[in-house]
Amino acid sequence: MRVFGDGISIDPSFDNTRAESIVNRLVKLLVFLDREEPRQNWAGYLDNGALNWSRIAFAGQSQGAGMAAYIAKGQPVARVILFSSPWDFVVSNGKIQMLAPWLATPPQTPSDRWFGGYHERENQASLLAKSYAALRIPPQNIRVFKGDLPPSLGGKKDANPFHGEGLYDPAYEQDRTFFLGRSP
C-alpha cells in the first residue's frame, strides 16, 4: 500500500492513496527533474511514464530500508541498500514467533545486487542478522558496524542510539562507498 497505493491496511490512519504512494511520488519527481534539468536526462529512469526499475537503485534506513527491500522483492532493481532494516516479524502471545513471511519470498532483484548494514549494538541486531539471511543477502555484501558512537553523539539519550549509525558516522564511509558500488 505504501509503495503502490493499492490496498487497505488494518489501520486506516496508515492508508495511502495511489497519489501518496512511493512509486507515484518518484515518477512525479523524475518528471519534474527532467523538465527543470533536461540535460541531466532524468527521463532515462522512466519508461513510457512508468519507472524503469532496472535503472534505479533503492536505499533506505529503518522503515525506508523496509520499503526498499519490499520494492526489490517485487521489481528487478539496479541495487538495493538497506540500513538497519527490515526486521519485520510476526507476534503471537506477545512474543516474536518468526520473521515476516515476505522476507523469505524469492526476489525479482538478483541477490548480488542486495547490500545491508547494521550496528552490532542495535536493539534488533540479532533479528536483523536473521532478516538479512532470509533476504539471501550475500554475506560479503553485509557490513556489521562495531564502533562506538561519534563523540558528538556520545551523550545521545535514545532507546536505540546505534540504530542508523552506519548511515551517517564518518567511520563507515568506506562501507557506504562499497554499498553504492556500480550497478550492472
Say if residues 128 and 118 touch (Cβ distance below 8 Å).
Answer: yes
Domain boundaries, the chain: 1-51, 56-180
Report helix, strand or coil for 172: helix
pLDDT of residue 4: 63
If pLDDT is split at 50, 70 and 90, which confidence band does 59 have? very high
- 148-171 per-position pLDDT tens digit: 887 765 555 678 888 888 888 889
β-strands 46-47, 50-51 pairing: antiparallel
pLDDT reading at 139 higher than 80: yes
Report helix, strand or coil for 80: strand
